[in-house]
Amino acid sequence: MINIIYGLKGSGKTQRIVDAANARAKTSKGCVIYITDQPTHSPYVDNDIRFIDIGKYNITTEATLVAFIEGLLAGNYDITDIYIDGPAKFIKMPIESMENFYKQIELLSAEHSVEFTFTVSAEEVPEYMKKYI
């Protein structure tokens, strides 16, 4: 399953995804992961959540981000949820061009029974993304 939190820059998306991750960490029977390129978010993310500063890795394309996520899933069979704050921002890709990325994530979600939540900076989301809202 994929969930999208969207809105314009400064609309509170990051706080909403942090709050969602923290709430899920209290009920999850497995591992919850939070991925961002902003290490300053760390103090706000519950200590039970695996916090990943993606800026420490060479993740610059859709393919490398998918491969990174696949690596996490391959090495950790207990992951239940992955929260990613602004993937379009750190791979520098417009959301209109990311349909293939979300299709790949859908497959990973189904295959590994992992729920994904993403933030997207946009006033409106592309048609392909509306099913995730």
Tokens of 88: 């379009």
Instruction: For residue 34, give the CATH number of its domain.
Output: 3.40.50.300
Contact 8, 47 (CB under 8 A): no
Distance between CA atoms of residues 126 and 97, nearest Å? 9
Q: What is the DSSP-derived secondary structure letter of residue 117?
A: E
Whether the pLDDT of residue 10 is over 90: the answer is no
Distance CA 119, CA 36 (A): 10
| pLDDT tens, position by position, 69-128 | 999 999 999 999 999 999 999 899 999 999 999 999 999 999 999 999 999 999 999 999
Q: In which domain, by residue range, is 104 found?
A: 2-132
Q: Crossing angle of helices 99-112/62-75, nearest 10°?
A: 10
What are the φ/ψ torsions at residue 107 (nearest 5 degrees)?
A: -65, -45
pLDDT > 90 in the chain, percent: 96
Classify the C-alpha dihedral 133-83-110-100 as positive or negative.
positive
Q: Count of domains in the chain? A: 1
